[in-house]
Every structure is written in C-alpha cells, then in structure tokens.
Amino acid sequence: MQHISPNEKQNNASHLPRLAYTMQETAEILGVSYITVHRLLKRGLLKSSTDLRHKLIPMTEIERFLKTSMEQA
C-alpha cells in the first residue's frame, strides 16, 4: 500500500478545479464587497447552494451573473 504524505495530498487538492466559492471569495472575484454579494443573493441576482451550512456560489453562477449584467449595460 502506498503512503501519501499530507503535503502530497495538499498538492493534489490544489490541482483540482474550483467549482464553487464562498461569499468572500465571490466578492473578491467580482471586485465588490461582501455585503454586495449578500444583497445580490437576497435579490435573487446570484444563486447559492442551499444544502450547506455556509453559502457556496458555483463558478457557473458567477459567470452567468457577469454575462447577464453585461448584456443589460
């Protein structure tokens, strides 16, 4: 059986694509504040996971929001 060190596990995890982001990470991606992301979620302009303790916003949702907001501008 092959032993994998914690460092190797961390390196492997860093190569996995990110599928979703926290509200703070989403704010950083969009270049807005955390409270703005909160307001966008509340208004239904962004959607997050509902089955988790902490809200996660899928990358596809962030991209959809950017695309639709650019079309309206």
The one-digit pLDDT tens for each residue of the chain (73 residues) are 566 655 665 566 668 889 999 999 999 999 999 999 999 999 999 999 988 889 999 999 999 999 998 887 6
pLDDT at 36: 98
pLDDT at 68: 93
Q: What is the dihedral of CA 61, 66, 69, 73, to 10 degrees?
A: -170
Whole-model pTM: value is 0.75
What is the DSSP secondary-structure string of 23-56? HHHHHHHHTS-HHHHHHHHHHTSS---SSSSS--
